[in-house]
Amino acid sequence: MTALGARLVTYVDWRGGELDRLLDADHALLQERWSIRKRRTDRPWESRQEVTYNHYGERGSIDDLSFDRTSGTLLVSELKTGIYDLQRTLAKMDEKERLAEAIAPRFGWKPRRVVTCLVIADTRTNRRRVASHAGLFGRFECRGRTASAWLRDPTAAVSGLLILVPLSDVRVTHGRRAGRQRVRHSAARRSVDAVDASAHRVEG
């Protein structure tokens, strides 16, 4: 496979595509929380979501592209509900950072610098993965309260931001966060189990 330049792509289908909707729900929620976080800084960030690009064969979309006119800062945010293929994520962020300045004029923006930001859903698993890959995450030096302060005044030079955003305290439906569902046996399977149980009671 490697010699041919090919890769194996596995597709998981659950309930006729509902898995995609659940993943999209969490991503949309993370995007909403990130927008709220920026608005609360009282900084006039101008933002565009899902900005697509196609530059000499390099294709993709930027989850959140924001611009601060006062400092001329263009913020390229990558949003992740889970950390899976870290190297691929970082490589894609490098691509977006490199192309962002050429994309900005589409919105009338003239950036003087580009800063990348990795926004991750705040879960124990994600925190553990960040800790276990400290070297790879080292480029995102601005974190926690320092990152929040930078968003309010993005004049300091930083190599990158890493921000953890909680999802569990908003948009709860029937006691569960949107995008989370319990997997149950199908009705057909339960009917078979019930028949088997009845048969055992009769035989006993």
Regarding predicted confidence, which is higher, 6 or 126?
126
Q: Are 176 and 167 in contact (CB under 8 A)?
A: no
Query: Could you please report the per-residue DSSP string of 9-38?
Result: ------TTTHHHHHHHHHHHHHHHHHHHHH
CA–CA gap between residue 71 and residue 107 (Å, rounded): 17
CA–CA gap between residue 164 and residue 30 (Å, rounded): 10
Residue 166 banded pLDDT, cuts 50, 70, 90:
very high
* Domain range 18-196, CATH architecture: 3-Layer(aba) Sandwich (3.40)
Residue 7 banded pLDDT, cuts 50, 70, 90:
low
Residue-range domain boundaries for the chain: 18-196
| Mean pLDDT value across residues 68-95 | 96
**What is the per-residue pLDDT for 1?**
53
CA–CA gap between residue 176 and residue 164 (Å, rounded): 20
pLDDT tops 90 at residue 41: yes
Regarding predicted confidence, which is higher, 194 or 150?
150
pLDDT tops 50 at residue 32: yes
| Mean pLDDT value across residues 118-145 | 95
pLDDT tops 80 at residue 187: no
| Mean pLDDT value across residues 118-129 | 96
CA max distance for the chain = 81
**What is the per-residue pLDDT for 128?**
96
Using only the alpha carbons of the chain, give its radius of gyration: 22
CA–CA gap between residue 66 and residue 100 (Å, rounded): 10
pLDDT tops 90 at residue 144: yes
Closest CA to 75 of 36, 108, 46, 40: 46
Q: Which helix (H) or strand (E) holds 162?
A: strand 161-165
Regarding predicted confidence, which is higher, 171 or 166?
166
pLDDT tops 60 at residue 171: no
pLDDT tops 70 at residue 43: yes
pLDDT tops 80 at residue 99: yes
| Mean pLDDT value across residues 10-37 | 70
CA–CA gap between residue 24 and residue 192 (Å, rounded): 34
Regarding predicted confidence, which is higher, 178 or 46?
46
